[in-house]
């Protein structure tokens, strides 16, 4: 009955819950995909879309790595179910509009596209640049899902000066620079996903410092946002973003100086998704717009 009310005859609150479910599900798949790499199970199923040349499921010889990799592939179907339910709820909601339908469709199409990129990463023996793209695209789905949440809630931007709006945009761009450089650091480090997987050839210590400098830039810009937006409704969001960055940065430094323990790296991955979600909400607070009436009911 709950699914019926939430998907077949949705109201705003149920559509918003499905949009939040898309945020959470995309974050969970980032975590489980990271655990595949961290446990050295990236080639537990050595081919794609089958697990082996003969079977879609792993056989005993593949051991625990095959189970872990296959389990992550199965979780993709849970994500598919969530985004399809979100898509249906958005399209059936009486308060929907063209933009909401496009966002829901983009998320629904993004998940199978991500699966294909994941398959290519397996077929290329976990090429670090393909794996990097795979993670960045997953983070993008988190951001788009947050945009959907904001739109469903009817969020409107604050009336702030062009300078302050530009600062928030610059902060968001710096956030994505941090995320991307984090994937480059990963591609140069020890957690390749398989003992035989190639690395990107960059010095992991040098890239860690480059990544750290991008974090310093992001924190500095966010501090500026905290000061310049303190008298607006976006002020608390700036503070929340800063706290998320500091927590994520602390985890990053600790994992670097403790030789990248699996548990901390996994937490850092979830923190990156949270950072993207909070940063996207921060951006929308000053740059989004209310859809025109004609578009709202299109």
Nearest C-alpha neighbor of 96 from the set 200, 159, 191, 18: 18
Contacts of 36 (CB under 8 A, 6+ apart): 42, 44, 68, 69, 72, 193
Task: Answer yes or no: is pLDDT of 196 > 70.
Answer: yes
DSSP letter at 142? H
What distance in Å separates the CA atoms of residue 8 and residue 124, rounded to the nearest whole number? Answer: 42
Task: Return the C-alpha torsion angle 121, 20, 297, 295, nearest 10.
Answer: -50
What distance in Å separates the CA atoms of residue 25 and residue 268, rounded to the nearest whole number? Answer: 17
For 280-294, write each residue's pLDDT tens digit.
Answer: 999 999 986 544 333
Q: Which residue has the higher pLDDT, 119 or 55?
A: 119
For 142-152, write each residue's pLDDT tens digit.
Answer: 999 999 999 99
- Angle 12-38/63-92 helices, nearest 10 degrees? 160
pTM reported for the whole predicted model: 0.90
- With vertex at residue 41, the alpha carbon angle to CA 107 and CA 25, rounded to the nearest 5 degrees, is 25
* Predicted confidence band of residue 49 (pLDDT cuts 50, 70, 90): confident
**pLDDT value at position 293?**
35
**pLDDT value at position 288?**
63
**Lowest mean pLDDT: which of 44-58, 122-136, 244-258?**
44-58
Give the mean pLDDT of 123-148: 93
Give the mean pLDDT of 234-243: 95
**Lowest mean pLDDT: which of 117-126, 153-162, 198-207?**
153-162
**pLDDT value at position 147?**
95
What distance in Å separates the CA atoms of residue 63 and residue 14, rounded to the nearest whole number? Answer: 41
Average pLDDT score over the chain = 88
């Amino acid at each position: 009955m709950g699914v019926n009310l939430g998907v077949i005859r949705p109201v705003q609150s149920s559509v918003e819950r499905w949009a939040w479910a898309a945020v959470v599900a995309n974050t969970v798949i980032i975590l489980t995909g990271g655990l595949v790499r961290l446990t050295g199970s990236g080639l537990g199923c050595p081919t794609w879309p089958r697990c082996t040349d003969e079977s879609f499921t792993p056989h005993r010889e593949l051991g625990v790595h095959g189970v872990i990799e296959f389990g992550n592939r199965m979780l993709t179907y849970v994500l598919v179910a969530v985004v399809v339910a979100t898509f249906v709820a958005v399209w059936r909601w009486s308060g929907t509009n063209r933009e909401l339908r496009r966002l829901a469709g983009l998320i629904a199409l993004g998940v199978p596209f991500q699966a294909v990129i994941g398959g290519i990463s397996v077929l290329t023996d976990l090429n670090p640049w393909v794996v990097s793209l795979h993670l960045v695209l997953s983070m993008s789905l988190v951001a788009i899902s947050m945009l959907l949440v904001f739109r469903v809630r009817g969020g409107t931007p604050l009336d702030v000066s062009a300078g302050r709006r530009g600062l928030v945009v610059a902060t968001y761009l710096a956030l994505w620079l941090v995320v991307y450089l984090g994937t480059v650091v990963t591609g140069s480090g020890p957690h390749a996903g398989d003992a035989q997987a190639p690395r990107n050839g960059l010095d992991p210590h040098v890239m860690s410092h480059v990544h750290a400098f991008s974090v310093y830039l992001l924190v500095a810009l966010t501090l500026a946002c905290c000061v310049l937006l303190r008298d607006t409704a976006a002020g608390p969001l700036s503070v929340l973003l800063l706290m998320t960055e500091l927590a994520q940065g602390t985890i990053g430094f600790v994992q670097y100086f403790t030789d990248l323990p699996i548990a901390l790296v996994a937490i850092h991955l979830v923190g990156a998704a949270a950072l993207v979600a909070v940063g996207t909400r921060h951006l929308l607070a000053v740059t989004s717009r209310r859809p025109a009436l004609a578009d709202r009911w299109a």
